[in-house]
Amino acid sequence: MEGGNSPNLQLQQLPLATAAVSVQPHTDSFSYKENLIGALLAIFGHLVISIALNLQKYSHIRLAGSKDPRAYFKTKTWWCGLFLLVLGELGVFSSYAFAPLSLIVPLSAVSVIASAIIGIIFIKEKWKPKDFLRRYVLSFVGCGLAIIGTYLLITFGPNSHEKMTGENITRHLVSWPFLLYMLLEIIVFCLLLYFYKEKNANYIVVILLLVALLGSMTVVTVKAVAGMIIVSIQGNLQLDYPIFYIMLVCMIATAVFQATFLAQASQLYDSSQIASIGYILSTTIAITAGATFYLDFTGEDVLHICMFALGCLIAFLGVFLITRNRKKSIPFEPYISMDAMPGMQNMHDKGIAVQPDLKASFSYGALENNDSMPEIYTPATLPIVQEQHGSRGVSAPPYRVLEHSKKE
C-alpha cells in the first residue's frame, strides 16, 4: 500500500512544482512591468508639477503690482497651474503603488531638470552666445548627469513587489528592524529639534534633516495608503483595516510638519541651496526607510545594488550642479540707504549697511552693478566725475567735491 501510493504522490507533486517554476518568469516580467509603470507615473507627475509651479509663478509675477493681493485667483493661468499641480501629485501618489519606494523617491530629480530647462527657455535676459554658454554650461552638464542617473535608477532599481494588504503592512510595522530604525530616528529627530528650538541652531543642514526625517515617514505611509487603495480597487477591500487609517493620519501629519519646516528654511536660505541639499538628504533617508520597512533590496545581487547607488550619486551631482548655477535673487530697494551719510541711523533694524556700488557708475538704489540686466529693469545711473586734487600720489574721491571759502 505504501509502496504503491508513493509513486502516485510523486506524480501528483510533479505538476505542482512544474507549474510553480513556470509561473516565476511571468512574475518577474510582470514586476519589471510594474516598475516601468511606476517610474513613468513618477516622471510624468514631477514634470507636470514643475510646469504647474512655473505657471503659478508666472501668474504672480504678472500681477505683482496689483492692488488686490488675491488678484491671481481671477486668472486662468493660476487655475490651470493648480489643476496641473493636483494632476501631478496624483501621478506621483499612484506611482508608489506600483514600484518600490527606493525607486520612486530619487526620481524627484526630474522636477529639478524640468525647472532648469523651463528657466532657460523662458529667460527674458539677452545674452551673447559666449556669455550664454558660460552662464549655463553647469546647468547643461547637471541636466545630463541627472538624466544619466535617472536611467541607472530605473534600470537597476529594486525589483521587490508584494501586495499592500493590511496583514503585510502590519507585519512590516511590528518587525524588529523597523522598530529599531524608528527608535533611532525618533532620538535623532528630538536631538535636532532641541538644538533648533532651544540652542537656536538655524543651520540649513539641521532644518533640512528635520524635513528629511519627516519626509521618510511620509513616503512610507504614502506607499502603504496608495497600495491599499489599489488593492481595494482590484477587488480585495482593504479600507476596513485600522492600519489604513493609522497610515493616513501619519501621512497627513508628517506632510504638514514637513511643509512647516520647509517654509522656515525658505525664509532663511536661498531656494537653490534648499533644493540641492534637501534632495540629497531626503532621498538618502527615504531610501534607508524604504529598505528597512518594505525590504526593497532583499534578494538583489551586489551588482544591481552598486549600480543603483552609482545612479543616486550621479543624480545627486547633477542636481547640485543645476542648483549651483542659479542666480541668487537680490531684493531691489528703490532708495539709497541713509547709511551712506555719516551720522545717520540705519534704516534697517537688522542687516548689513547698504552702500552704493562705486565702480563705473552710481547705481541709484541698487546694491550691485546691474549692467547685465535688461534696460527696462536697469536703474537710472549718474556718471562719476573724478578730479585730481593735490599731488598725483593721492587718489581723488569718486565724486565731485565742492569747497566754499570763508570769503563767500
Measure CA of the first residue to CA of the last residue in the chain; give whole Å.
137
Q: Does position 191 have pLDDT exceeding 90, yes or no?
A: yes
Q: Sorting pLDDT into bands at 50, 70 and 90, what band is 211?
A: very high
Per-residue pLDDT at 75 exceeds 60: yes
Per-residue confidence (pLDDT) for residue 55, from 0 to 100: 85
pLDDT (average), residues 105-129: 75
pLDDT score recorded for residue 140? 85
Higher-pLDDT residue of 204, 358: 204
> How confident is the model over 295-326, as pLDDT tens digits?
888 888 899 999 999 999 999 999 998 887 66
Q: How many CB atoms lie within 10 A of CB 26?
A: 9
Whether 346 has a pLDDT exceeding 80, the answer reads no
Question: Can you tell me the mean pLDDT for 59-67?
Answer: 76
Residue 328 has pLDDT above 70, yes or no: no
Residue 40: per-residue pLDDT? 92
d(CA 244, CA 115): 35
* Structure confidence by residue, pLDDT tens digits, 129-155: 666 666 678 888 888 999 999 999 988
Query: Given this model, what pLDDT does residue 73 score?
Result: 80
Share of the chain above pLDDT 70, in %: 68
Give the mean pLDDT of 21-45: 69
User: Treating both helix axes as pointing N-terminal to C-terminal, what angle do 109-121 and 271-293 enclose, rounded to 10 degrees?
Assistant: 160
- The pLDDT assigned to 359 comes to 43
Averaged pLDDT, 115-138: 68
Q: How confident is the model at residue 357 (pLDDT cuts 50, 70, 90)?
A: very low
The SS3 call for residue 282 is helix
**pLDDT tops 70 at residue 392:** no
Q: Which grid cell is 4?
A: 504503491
Percent residues over pLDDT 90 in the chain? 37
200-226 mean pLDDT: 93
* pLDDT greater than 90 at residue 246: yes
Please list, in sequence order, all residues whose beta carbon lies within 8 angstroms of the beta carbon of residue 247, skipping any fewer than 6 positions away: 169, 221, 224, 225, 228
- Is pLDDT larger for residue 75 or for residue 380? 75
The pLDDT assigned to 375 comes to: 47
Lowest mean pLDDT segment, chosen from 48-52, 261-265, 333-337? 333-337
Q: Which residue has the higher pLDDT, 402 or 23?
A: 402
Binned at pLDDT 50, 70 and 90, residue 24 comes out as very low
Most confident of 162-171, 242-251, 266-275, 364-373: 242-251
> Residue 19 above 60 pLDDT?
no
Which is more confidently placed, 360 or 313? 313
Enumerate the β-bridge partners of residue 382.
Answer: 362
3-class SS of residue 139:
helix
Helices 204-233 and 166-173 cross at an angle (nearest 10°) of 150
Torsion, CA 323, CA 324, CA 325, CA 330, rounded to 10: 90
What pLDDT is stored for residue 27 in this prediction? 44
The mean pLDDT of 122-126, rounded to a whole number, is: 55
Query: Mean pLDDT throughout 375-394?
Result: 48
Cell triple for 82:
493648480
Tell me the C-alpha distance between 167 and 223, whole Å.
Answer: 15
At residue 380, φ and ψ (nearest 5 deg) are: -65, 140
Compute the average pLDDT of residues 329-346. 46
State the pTM of this model: 0.69
Mean pLDDT across the chain, nearest whole number? 76
CA distance 279 to 105: 10
